[in-house]
Structure 1
Amino acid sequence: MRNFLLLLLLFTPAALFAQITITDKVVSVTDKKPIANASVFLSNSKVGNMLLKDGSFTLSNVKNGQYDLVITCIGFEPLHQNIFVRGNDIQLPTIALKNKTSLLGKVKINGGKRKRDYKRERYIRIFTREFLGRTKNAAECKILNPDVLQFEYDESTDRMHAT
């Protein structure tokens, strides 16, 4: 009996300070494809990681408690989910992120045909890269009506304004 109490006292602190692991996979709600390179973290803690190419993640060294799991990725709505950690590793069900829709303010449409303008083509490439981003998800996006975009470029400030 005495040895049992000694063993119990030795292992109690280890059980109280056990480090938990949270694992999951994140996909797009529209096509169910894995989302890579998104940020995942537990707010009010120092625990965070990036999603792998297959959309999976692992958060290690999580302590017991209640957390707000936050997943963010460009092109998707941020996700917040309450997590309760109580001594066991957690395998969450697959999470699906919603695509984020960006609305343009003002669109001015001009009629008539345009001659080939190499500066304009360059401006469209710059605009697309800056507006959509440079991620794998952005590479799958396309501006369907680039002909309605108008550009003003100020060489003195090296700034481009698009409407």
Structure 2
Amino acid sequence: MMAAMTGGCQCGRIRYSAEIASDEAYLCHCRMCQRATGGVSIAFVNLPKAAVAWEREPDWYHSSPIARRPFCARCGSPLGFEYPDSDKCDLTVGSFDDPSRFRPTSHFGAESMHEAWIDTRDLPRYRSDQHDALTERWMKAVGKLPD
């Protein structure tokens, strides 16, 4: 089902709207994505470039001779990936205002996958709002917890 969705960077300087046709997303584990995000993988939604409207043009990092990545130079948020000669692009799932629609359907860059990070369902879980030191810092700084 086609839906208009919005997203952007952490500081709000770069915003976008996108026409999303599917809830399918994928995890990329390639070394370039690991280095670009500092994570063991990144979740992407693939869509036509024509389906994305940037309210403000993102900053671009030419991460290789064949690809570039949109990001915010002020806060550093990674926003996606694209091959300039393709009509498709990827947006980071985490940059959507409500990423809950998406579900992972595949892995890419499996040669660099760190298996220990794939199935973490049995690890203990801790809520941010129940971490006293963190809560105290937020309350002292701004008087409320972040959204």
Same fold flag (TM > 0.5): no
Please state which band the TM-score falls in when normalised by the shorter chain.
under 0.3
Q: With CA pairs under 8 Å and 6+ residues apart, which has the higher RCO, 1 or 2?
A: 2
**Larger strand fraction of residues:** 2
TM-score, normalisation: structure 2: 0.22
Structure number with larger C-alpha Rg: 1
